[in-house]
Structure 1
Amino acid sequence: MRRRGWRDRRGGVALTIALSLLPLLAACGLALDLARGWLAQSRLATAVDAAALAGGRAFSRPAAEREAAALILFWANFGRQEINSASSTLGFMGAVAQPPVIDQPDVNTLRVTARASLPTVFMRIFGQSSMALRASATAAVQTDGMELAMALDITGSMFPNGIAALRLAAADLVGILYGDKETIPGLRVSIVPWAATVNLGAGHADWLAAGLLSAADYLPSSWAGCVEARGNGHDATDAPPSVAPFTPYRWASTLNRYYSGTTVVAGDNDWSLTRVTEADRSLQNLAVGPNLGCPVDTVLPLTAEKSTLLARIAALQVSFRGGTISNLGLQAAWFTISPRWRGLWGDASLPRDDGVPGNRKVVVLMTDGQNNWFDYPAGAPGAAPVPYDGQTVDADYTGYGRLAENRLGIVTPVTGTLAARTAAAIALNKAAISDRMQAMCTLLKAQGITVYTITFNLNDAATQSLYRNCASTMTGYFNSPNQTALRQAFTQIGNELVTLRLTR
C-alpha cells in the first residue's frame, strides 16, 4: 500500500508540472509570434518608406509611371516571393500583402499605405491564425534655400520647334521646385537668355563705361540693353560694373561699305535713319538695325515668384544672327548669383554670400549647338559675302564685335583663298570661345556652384564633351536628342534639386 501511494504521488507531480508548462509554452509561442510580427511590421514600414521616396522622386511624371516606380521599390523591399492571388502577394516571412494604395493628397506629397497579414505559428492553437499589419508613409517635397540661374540658348537654330520645347522644359523645372506654391522661403531663380551676346536691360545704362552710349548712334531705334564682352580678361570674371564697366552693343551699318570692284553691293546689315527692321521678328535673318543679334529677352534677375518666372519663360523668343557664344551666357548667369553683384539687380540682399549653409548656388546651362561665329551672306539670301576691300576675313557682329576686329587675339592664316581663311578664322575663334567657357565652368565649380549642363538636338562629339566636362558631376550632364528628352533632362534636374522628407 505504501509503495502504491508513493507511485500515485509521483504521477500527480508529473501532471502538475505538465499542466504548469502549458501557459509557459503558450507564452513562449506568443512571444515568438509577436517577434515575427514585429519583424514583419518593420519590413512593411521599410517597404512603404522606400516606395514613397521612389514615387516622390517621380512627382512630375505621369501617374502611371509614378505608381510603377513606387511599386517596384515596395516589392523589392518587402521581398515578394510569388503571386498568391489576383489581389494579394506573398512576401517577407510568408506575410500576404495587399497591393499598396498610392495616392497624392496634394501636389507636393505622395502617400503610400500597405496592409499585410502574417500567419501565426503558435497563436493559431488559441484560435488566432494571423496578425494584421499596416504601415503608411508620406513623402513631402521640400526645396531648400537656393539661388538657381538658368542660362538658356535662344539662338536662331532654336526656331521654331526648339524654343517651344525649351519653354515647356524650363517651366517643368520651375513647376517641380515650387509645386503648388507661389513662393518658397529662400528659393530664388534667374532666367538668362543668351545668343551671340546677352541683354542686361536698357535700364542699366549706368553699368556702361562713361561716354560710350550715344542715342544718335541708334536712331531711329535705341539701345536695347545688350553689351559686348569686356576686355582685360573680364570676359571670364564676375567683376561688377564698378570694376569693369560694359560697352553697349551696336552693330554698325554696312550700308555703302561693301564693294565688288568699284560697284557698291549690299552688306550683311544695311540699316539707315530711314530703315531699321530689327523689331520685325518675321524677317528673321533678313532684319537690319543697330541691335541686330541682340536678344529681345532681357536677363531676369533672381526672382521669388513662380508666376513671374513662368511668364518670362513662356515669352522667350529666338534671337537671329550673330552666332552661339556660350561663355557670355554662362558669365551672365554668374552675374545673377554672385555676391559681388549684390544690390545691383534691385534687391539689396541678393545675391547672398557663397558657401552659406542652407543656400545652394546652381547654374543650368543649356545649348542646342556648338559654339559658333555665324557668317551670314551679304545681300540676298544665298549670296556670297563680299568684304568691302575684297580681302578682309569677317563674319557677323557678336559680343566680341566683328570677326575682323580679332578681339580674341587669334592668329589666323594670311595665305589661301578668302573663303578658306574665313573658315579657318571662324574655327579658331570657336575653339577660343569653348576654351573660355570651360575655364569659367572651372571657376564656378571652385566657388562651390553646382553646374548642370544640357545639349539639345546636338550630335557634335566635341561640344558634348565640352558640356560634359563643364558639369559638376558626370550625372549632371544631359544629352537630349529630341524634345521629349529635353523635358526629361529639365525634369530630372528639378527632381535632384528638391529634397524629399518622410512623414507618417
Structure 2
Amino acid sequence: MLLNKFWRSTSGNFALVLAMGLPAILTAVAFATDVSTLMRAKSNLQNALDAANLASSHLGDLEITRTDAFGRYFQANIAEHGELANAQATLTVDRGVNFVTTKAVASADVNLNFAFLFGNSKHIQVDAAATESNNQLEVVLVLDNTGSMAGARMNALRTATKSLLDTLEAAKSPTRDVRASLVPFVTAVNVNGDEFDPSWIDMDGKSSTNGVNFPVIKGTRPNHMALFKQLKKTGWTGAGWNGTGWKGCVEARPGAYNISDAAPDSAKPDTLFVPYFAPDDPEIAQAPSSSYGNSAKYYNNSYLDDVSDKTKLYKQDANILGIDLSGTTGDPDKEKVAKYVAPAKEIITETGSTITVGPNRACPTPVVPLTDDFDKLRKAASAMTEWNGSGTNVSEGLSWGMRVLSPSPPYTGGAPWKTPGVSKIVLLLTDGENVVYGASEQPATKSDYTSYGYLAGGRFGSDNQTTAARNVDGWTKGVCTQLKNEGVQIYTMVLQSDTAANRALYSACASDPSGYYAVNDPNKLPNVFLEIANKFSKLQLTN
C-alpha cells in the first residue's frame, strides 16, 4: 500500500527522474565527446601521413633523402595535436625506372576523457599511398570544330586547350619526353599539315570510292585530284591541290578500313585516302538566301554555274579522263563533271567564312601530329574555329587520333603500342551527338557531302539520317575499343550535350566511367581540361 502511494506521488518526481536518468545522459555525452575526439584524431593522423607520403614520393629523391623527408614531415604535422600519443609511421617504396609508388602506415594512441567507455586511450591506424610516374606522354586532343561550337563554346575550347598545353609543357623534363597532338574534326579531318605525305593519297583514282559521286563515262569515273588540278588549269580561283585547291580533308576509307590504322599501301588502293571533293549542287531547290549554306532541307553547296553547251563540255570531260570518243556518240547529259572543266564563274570563295561553299566544304584546320613544340600547338589551337554544314562525325576524329598515336603510317611519330614507360592519352570533346546533316528533302543526295559522300550513296549503311547517325555511333565505339585494347587512356567530354545517347556512348568509350565529363557551363571547360591533365601528368595520392 505504501509503495503504491510512493509511485503515485507527484512531489519530487523531477529529482527522482533526473537521478535515475543522469547516468544515461552522462554516458551519452561521454560517448559523443570521445567519438568526436577519435574522429578528429584519425583525421589529423591521416593528414599528417598524407603530407609526409607526398613529400617522399618524388622520383629524383635518394632513398636517404626520401626517408628523412618522410620522418620530418610526419613529426612536424603531428606536433600540434596533443591527442595523438606514441605516434609512429613506416614507409615502403616500390621504385621502377619510370615510376615510384610509396605506401605508408601510421598509428597512434588517442588520449580519451572517459576511461569507463573505451579505456584511457584508443589505438588507431591509418594508411596512405601515392605515385609519381615519369612515363613519357603522348597526348592527342580530338576536338569538335562543328558549327554548333560557335561563340562561347569555341572561345572556351581555345582557352582550355591552351591551359592544358601549358600544363603538359610544364611536365617536361630532361628525363621526361612530353608530346601532344591536335586533331580538329567536323565531318572530316584535314591531313594537309606537318608530316603530310602524298603517298597516303589516292592521286590516280584507284580507290573504289574515288569519284562515286560523279557520272561514269565509258566505264571511267572522274578522279578527285584530277578535278582539282583541272580547276587550277582553267584558272579557277584558289585552285591547285597542294594546300590551295585541295585544302587537305580526306574521305573515310571504304569497308573495315574506315576506322582502321592500316598503313596506306598503293598496292591496296582502298587503303589510300581519297581527297575530299564536295560536288557542286544543282541550282534548284535552294534554301532562302537568309539561311543559304547551312540548311537542313535544301542544297547548300552550289558554287559553279550550271553549263549550257553540254555536248562540247562532255567531250572536254572525256579528254580529262583520257577517253577516246572517236567513233562514238557523245552523251550531252554528263554535265556533272563538265562544269568543273571550264566553270563560268566561282560564286563564293572558300576562305574567311565558317560557312564554306565549294569542293572543300566544312573542312577544318589541319592535324598537328605529335610534337614537343608547344608554341606550334598553341598557335594551331588559337586558329581553330567552327565550320558549318555536313554534320558531326566523331568516329573520323577518333580514327585520326588513333593514326597519330600509331607507330605505323600515315603518321609514324607514335611509340609502338604498349611500350613500357610510355603513356598514350586521348582527350575527346564534342558538343553534340553524331549527325548526318543537310539537304534532307533532296532525293538525289539526302544530305550535305560528308566524309562518306552523300547519304543517298549508301556508304552510311542507310539512307535515313537518324539510322546513319547511329551507325556512326557504332564506328565511334569501335575506335574506342581499339584504342583501349592498345592500352590507350581515353577521357571523354561532352559540352552542353549530356543526352542519354551521349552519356551511354562516351562513358563506355572512356577507359573508366569516371573519365566521362559532362560540362554544362563552357566557362568550366578549362578547369575540366586541367583536372584531366593532372590525372596523368602530376604526382597524386592514390589512397
TM-score calculated relative to the size of structure 1: 0.64
Alignment of 1:68-87 (within 5 A): none
Alignment of 1:6-25 (within 5 A): none
In the alignment, what sits opposite 1:368?
431
In the alignment, what sits opposite 1:291?
360
Contact 2:299 2:448 in 1 (8 A): no
Give the counterpart letter for 1:361 in structure 2.
Answer: K
Q: Secondary structure at the match of 2:428?
A: strand
Q: Percent identity?
A: 28
Residues in 2 aligned to 1:371 and 1:496: alpha-carbon distance in whole angstroms: 28
Aligned CA distance change for structure 1 residues 143 and 316 (closer, same or farther; 3 Å): farther
Aligned CA distance change for structure 1 residues 499 and 180 (closer, same or farther; 3 Å): closer
Q: Which of 184, 206, 220 matches 2:237?
A: 220
TM superposition outliers: structure 1 runs of 4+ over 4 Å: 41-45, 50-54, 77-80, 88-91, 139-143, 180-184, 257-260
Is residue 269 from structure 1 mapped to residue 340 from structure 2 by the alignment?
Answer: no
Q: Which of 46, 49, 65 matches 1:46?
A: 49
Unaligned runs of 5+ in 1: 1-40, 57-73, 81-87, 96-138, 377-384, 413-424
Unaligned runs of 5+ in 2: 1-43, 59-72, 88-129, 205-222, 239-244, 293-297, 305-342
Q: Secondary structure at the match of 1:453?
A: strand
Give the counterpart letter for 1:146 in structure 2.
Answer: L
Alignment of 1:56-455 (within 5 A): 92-93=84-85, 143-179=134-170, 185-201=176-192, 203-211=196-204, 212=223, 213-214=225-226, 215-217=229-231, 219-221=236-238, 222-242=245-265, 244-256=271-283, 258=285, 267-272=299-304, 273=343, 274-282=345-353, 284-285=354-355, 287-295=356-364, 297-341=365-409, 344-345=410-411, 350-375=413-438, 387=442, 391-392=443-444, 394-410=446-462, 412=463, 425-455=464-494
Q: Deviations 1:129-166 (Å, cap 9, x if unpaired)?
A: xxxxxxxxxx9986520211110011000001111101
Tell me the CA shift for residue 90 of structure 1. Answer: 5.1
- Paired residues, number: 360
Q: Secondary structure at the match of 1:302?
A: strand
Q: Secondary structure at the match of 1:151?
A: strand
Give the counterpart letter for 1:49 in structure 2.
Answer: A
Contact 1:364 1:452 in 2 (8 A): yes
Give the counterpart letter for 2:455 in structure 1.
Answer: L
Residues in 2 aligned to 1:43 and 1:462: alpha-carbon distance in whole angstroms: 41
Q: Which of 498, 514, 522 matches 1:459?
A: 498
Q: Secondary structure at the match of 1:152?
A: strand
Contact 1:143 1:187 in 2 (8 A): no
Contact 1:154 1:317 in 2 (8 A): yes
Is residue 497 from structure 1 mapped to residue 510 from structure 2 by the alignment?
Answer: no
The two structures, once aligned, show a CA RMSD in angstroms of: 3.6
Residues in 2 aligned to 1:250 and 1:144: alpha-carbon distance in whole angstroms: 41
Contact 1:146 1:188 in 2 (8 A): yes
Tell me the CA shift for residue 501 of structure 1. Answer: 8.4
Q: Deviations 1:463-493 (Å, cap 9, x if unpaired)?
A: 1210110001111111111123322221111
Q: Secondary structure at the match of 1:366?
A: strand
Q: Secondary structure at the match of 2:401?
A: helix
Tell me the CA shift for residue 181 of structure 1. Answer: 5.5
Q: Secondary structure at the match of 1:239?
A: coil
Q: Deviations 1:8-50 (Å, cap 9, x if unpaired)?
A: xxxxxxxxxxxxxxxxxxxxxxxxxxxxxxxxx9989635335
Give the counterpart letter for 1:281 in structure 2.
Answer: G
Contact 2:445 2:454 in 1 (8 A): no
Give the counterpart letter for 2:350 in structure 1.
Answer: A
In the alignment, what sits opposite 1:472?
511
Q: Deviations 1:306-334 (Å, cap 9, x if unpaired)?
A: 22222221221212211100000000001
Contact 1:373 1:395 in 2 (8 A): yes
Give the counterpart letter for 2:399 in structure 1.
Answer: Q
Residues in 1 aligned to 2:435 and 2:54: alpha-carbon distance in whole angstroms: 46
Contact 2:172 2:178 in 1 (8 A): no
Residues in 1 aligned to 2:532 and 2:165: alpha-carbon distance in whole angstroms: 10
Q: Secondary structure at the match of 1:250?
A: coil
Residues in 2 aligned to 1:156 and 1:194: alpha-carbon distance in whole angstroms: 11
TM-score calculated relative to the size of structure 2: 0.60
